[in-house]
Chains A and B, each alone.
Chain A
C-alpha cells in the first residue's frame, strides 16, 4: 500500500517530539479523523517518539497518510538504531519500565491504535509501527 503522503522527521530532542506531535495532528486532521481519534494517535505518537529518544538514542519518525482504496488512515513508523528490546512481551506490559517512566507508553500506544507492531533485534534497533483508520 503506497502512502499518499509521507513525512520523515528526525527525533533527537524533546523539541523534536513536540514537532512530531504537531505534524501527526496536522495529518490526522487532513485524513478526517474524529477529534477523539486525532487525540489518540497524537498521544501514541508522543509516547513512541519519546521512547526512541529515551531508549533508542533518537531515531526517525515517518508519518504516512495511507489509503486502502476505501478508507484513509494514518500510519506512523518509529525507527531507531538503539539497543533494541530483548523481551517485547515484557516491554509491552503496563507498568514495566527500565527507565524512570510509568511503563505505559508501549502498551498504551498499542491500545490507542488500530494496528500495532514491534520489530526489534537486540543490538540493531527497534521499529514500532502503528496505524489508525478513519
Chain B
C-alpha cells in the first residue's frame, strides 16, 4: 500500500499531500504521524495541502483529527498552502477547521512552530531550579 511520506524538518514534521486522498491513505497517514511525532519528539506538524484541489468534510475531519492527536502529544499542527478557491468553498460548506492553525506557506508555518518552541523553552527555563 502506498503511504504519504513524512519528513523531519528541525523539530517539526512535514507532510505534503500531493494526491487525491482516499480513505485508506488518510487512515494510514494518521497512524504514521502519531508514531512519528513520538519517535521524532516533534513539536510541530506541518501539513502542506497546496496541491489539493478540494477539501471536503472527510479530509477536513482528518485534518481536525490529526490536530487533536498532535495536541495531546504536545505538538502543534499547522495546515499550510490552502488554495483560495478551497478556502472559499470550505466556508460555504460550513467547515471552520477551528482546531487547526493555518499559514500561507511552509516557511510561515515553520515560523509559527519555532515561535511556540521558543515560548515553551522560555517557560521551562524559568521553571528550572
Contact = CB atoms under 8 A, between A and B. Distances in A.
Given A14-B23, A18-B22, A36-B85, A108 B54 contact: no
A65 B2 CA distance: 34
A104 B95 contact: yes
B88 A36 contact: yes
B120 interface: no
A47 interface: yes
Interface in A78-122: 94, 101-102, 104-105, 107-108, 111-112
29 contacts: A14-B23, A14-B24, A15-B22, A17-B22, A22-B20, A35-B85, A39-B83, A39-B86, A40-B89, A42-B53, A42-B54, A43-B54, A43-B55, A43-B56, A43-B93, A46-B56, A47-B56, A47-B57, A94-B94, A101-B61, A104-B93, A104-B95, A105-B57, A108-B92, A108-B95, A111-B94, A112-B89, A112-B92, A112-B93
Interface of A: 14-15, 17-18, 21-22, 25, 35-36, 38-40, 42-43, 46-47, 50, 94, 101-102, 104-105, 107-108, 111-112
Nearest to A109: B93
Interface of B: 20, 22-24, 53-58, 60-61, 83, 85-86, 88-89, 92-95
